C-alpha cells in the first residue's frame, strides 16, 4: 500500500535543467537516432554518473529505511555531482528516483513506506548532465530474501544481459526481445509488455522502441550510433498490470513479484557498448560467459 508522499524537492539554480524541469511539460523534437561523437562522449559521462549514483543508492537499502529517504539520498547526490535528477517533474512525476517494491513493476513513487526484511526493491536512476541523460536501474534485496525472489532477480539480470548480447549492427531490434523471451520462458516467468526500453540522448525518451518479448513487427534495424535502454521487467506470475490512482505506480494484477534491470547501450560498428556498465556499476558485466 502507498505511504505519504512528501513535497517535490528543490533543485538549485546553478544546475542545468531539462526543458520540463519547471513546467512538467515535456517538449518533443526529431532527435537523430544516430548520435554524433560529441553526444556519445557526453552520454558516456552521464551513464557513468548514473551508474555510480545507483550503486551508492543500493548501498542504502536495508530494513527500516523509507523509499523517501532513498529519494532524498539520490536527489542530493545527483545535485552534488552537478546533474539534474531526470525523473523530477517529468510529466509531473513528483520525485527524483523511482522505487518499485515487490509487486510494483515500475514507476513506484518514493514515500513514507519503510522497506521490510524480505522485500525486493528496484531503484531506477536517471541523471541529466551536459545536455544528455544517463539511465540505469537494478533490483536490490532488503535483508533476508526468499530463494524464489532471489532466483527471479538473478534471472532478470541474465535476461537484460542476453538482450544486450543480441545488439548487433544491421540486425532487427526484435533480436533483443527474442533473446530475453528465451530466458524468461525457460524459467516460466512472465514478461511485462506494457513498459519497454526506449531511445535516449538529449531527450529522456526518443522514438526507438525496445520490446522485451519477441514481435517480428519490432523490426527497426540497429545502426552504429544508436543509443537506447534495455530494461526487462520479469514477473513470477502474470505479465499483466494495473496502475494505481496516483497514475504512475504500475503493479502486477495478481500481486506477484516483479524484478527489473536496466542498462543504457550504444550500438557500435562491431556490437554494443554498455554506457552504464563496467567498473562501479551494480551489474558491471554479464553474469555468464557470453
Q: So what's the pLDDT on residue 160?
A: 98
Q: So what's the pLDDT on residue 290?
A: 57
Contact 186, 195 (CB under 8 A): no
Find out if CATH 3.90.230.10 is the number for domain 37-274.
yes
Digits of tens for pLDDT over the chain (290 positions)? 679 999 999 999 999 999 999 999 999 999 999 999 999 999 999 999 999 999 999 999 999 999 999 999 999 999 999 999 999 999 999 999 999 999 999 999 999 999 999 999 999 999 999 999 999 999 999 999 999 999 999 999 999 999 999 999 999 999 999 999 999 999 999 999 999 999 999 999 999 999 999 999 999 999 999 999 999 999 999 999 999 999 999 999 999 999 999 999 999 999 999 999 999 999 999 998 75
Q: So what's the pLDDT on residue 165?
A: 98
d(CA 267, CA 168): 7
Contact 121, 71 (CB under 8 A): no
> For the chain, how long is the longest CA-to-CA vector?
50
Question: Phi-psi region for residue 165, left (φ > 0), alpha (ψ -120 to 50) or beta?
Answer: alpha
Q: So what's the pLDDT on residue 1?
A: 67
pLDDT of 59-88, one tens digit each? Answer: 999 999 999 999 999 999 999 999 999 999
- Nearest CA to 51 among 243, 277, 249, 287? 277
Q: How far is CA 77 from CA 85, 132, 230, 233, in A?
A: 9, 18, 25, 26
pLDDT of 89-103, one tens digit each? Answer: 999 999 999 999 999
**pTM exceeding 0.85:** yes
Amino acid at each position: 500500500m502507498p505511504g505519504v508522499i512528501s513535497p517535490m524537492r528543490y533543485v538549485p539554480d546553478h544546475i542545468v535543467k531539462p526543458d520540463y524541469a519547471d513546467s512538467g511539460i515535456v517538449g518533443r523534437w526529431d532527435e537523430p537516432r544516430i548520435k554524433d561523437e560529441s553526444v556519445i562522449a557526453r552520454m558516456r559521462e552521464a551513464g557513468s554518473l548514473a551508474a555510480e549514483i545507483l550503486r551508492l543508492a543500493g548501498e542504502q537499502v536495508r530494513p527500516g529505511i523509507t523509499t523517501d529517504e532513498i529519494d532524498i539520498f539520490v536527489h542530493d547526490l545527483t545535485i552534488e555531482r552537478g546533474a539534474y535528477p531526470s525523473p523530477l517533474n517529468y510529466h509531473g512525476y513528483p520525485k527524483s528516483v523511482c522505487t518499485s517494491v515487490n509487486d510494483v513493476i515500475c514507476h513506484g513513487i518514493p514515500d513514507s513506506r519503510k522497506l521490510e526484511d524480505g522485500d525486493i526493491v528496484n531503484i531506477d536512476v536517471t541523471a541529466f548532465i551536459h545536455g544528455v541523460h544517463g539511465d540505469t536501474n537494478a533490483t536490490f534485496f532488503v535483508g533476508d530474501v526468499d530463494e524464489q525472489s532471489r532466483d527471479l532477480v538473478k534471472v532478470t539480470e541474465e535476461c537484460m544481459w542476453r538482450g544486450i548480447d543480441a545488439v548487433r549492427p544491421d540486425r532487427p531490434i526484435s533480436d533483443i526481445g527474442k533473446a530475453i523471451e528465451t530466458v524468461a520462458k525457460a524459467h516460466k516467468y512472465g514478461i511485462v509488455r506494457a513498459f519497454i526500453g526506449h531511445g535516449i540522448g538529449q531527450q529522456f525518451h526518443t522514438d526507438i522502441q525496445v520490446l522485451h518479448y519477441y514481435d517480428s513487427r519490432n523490426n527497426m534495424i540497429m545502426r552504429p550510433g544508436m543509443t537506447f535502454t534495455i530494461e526487462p521487467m520479469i514477473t513470477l506470475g502474470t505479465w499483466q498490470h494495473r496502475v494505481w490512482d496516483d497514475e504512475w505506480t504500475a503493479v502486477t494484477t495478481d500481486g506477484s513479484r516483479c524484478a527489473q534491470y536496466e542498462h543504457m547501450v550504444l550500438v557500435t560498428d562491431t556490437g554494443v557498448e554498455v554506457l552504464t556498465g563496467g567498473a562501479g556499476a551494480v551489474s558491471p558485466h554479464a553474469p555468464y560467459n557470453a
